[in-house]
Amino acid sequence: MRIFDLFEQYDNIEVRKLTRTNVDILRLLDLILDVFHEQYGLDKNEVEEAIHPMSFALGLYHNEELIGAYIFREDDLSFDDLKNHCDIQIDEQEAESLLRGRGIEGVSLAVRSEYKNRGYGKILIEHSKKLNYDYIWGQQLKLLGNLNHWLKRRTHVATYISETSHEVYITVERIN
């Protein structure tokens, strides 16, 4: 399915929505494995676990090659749940306005290393705002050291310690 004609016009780039039944799902797994193995040393099991909750993904194609992806899980974030499990970073009123409506979790964002720093990640980020949801949220491991990138667009709403004793930030961006 072609849903992003504008970029295709000048750069042979297309964004397509991929579901679990899509023929490209194995290419998606390969892409995430390659990127996260190279960047963070993750193995196949860790990658499969990371993308297990996927509801759908946006795939970024360059001349029919899958070069990037943004994986999503359909799920709302409840402020009451956050209060019970996390250290909250914002007040209740701000949380109410950020978390109104339907949310999705952005689970993984990846662009193949040979295509990085050309604005392709940004195409996926911008395209995610056209999805039919009210806010996108995500969980960022402190040890990845990338919170500042996410805070260009998102608000840091909470922090918790994972079962594996890692500090995790929860960030939210309204898209509607």
Ligand X SMILES: CC(C)(COP(=O)(O)OP(=O)(O)OC[C@H]1O[C@@H](n2cnc3c(N)ncnc32)[C@H](O)[C@@H]1OP(=O)(O)O)[C@@H](O)C(=O)NCCC(=O)NCCS
Minimum distance between the CB of residue 91 and ligand X, rounded to whole angstroms?
26
Question: Cβ of residue 134: shortest distance to ligand X, in angstroms?
Answer: 21
Report if residue 59 touches ligand X, rule: CB under 6 A: no
- The C-alpha atoms of residue 31 and residue 77 are separated, in whole angstroms, by 28
Q: Confirm or reject binding of residue 108 to ligand X (CB under 6 A).
A: yes
Rounded to the nearest whole angstrom, what is the least distance from the CB of residue 44 to ligand X in the complex? Answer: 16
By 3-state DSSP, what share of the chain in percent is helix, strand and coil, each rounded to 5?
A: 35, 30, 30
CB 71, min distance to ligand X, A: 9
User: Which of 109, 157, 170, 172 lies at the binding interface for ligand X (CB under 6 A)?
Assistant: 109
Nearest in space to 67 (alpha carbons), one of 34, 19, 39: 34
DSSP 115: G
Residue 55 C-alpha from the chain's centroid: 12
Which among 2-10, 20-28, 115-123, 166-174 is the span making contact with ligand X, rule CB under 6 A? 115-123
- List of long-range contacts for 20-29, beta carbons under 8 Å, 24+ apart: 20/54, 20/56, 24/59, 24/66, 27/66, 28/57, 28/59, 28/66, 28/69, 28/71
Identity of the residue numbered 45: N
Considering beta carbons, is residue 126 or 134 the nearer one to ligand X?
A: 126
Smallest distance from ligand X to CB 57, Å: 12
From 4-12, 73-81, 91-99, 111-119, span contacting ligand X (CB under 6 A): 111-119
Are 112 and 93 in contact by the 8 Å Cβ rule? The answer is no
Binding-site residue total for ligand X (CB under 6 A)? 17
Paired with 117 in beta bridges are none
> Is residue 122 part of the contact set for ligand X (CB under 6 A)?
yes
The answer to whether residue 129 forms part of the interface with ligand X (CB under 6 A) is: no
Judged by the rule CB under 6 A, the positions of this chain that interact with ligand X are 35, 39, 108-111, 116-122, 146, 149-150, 152
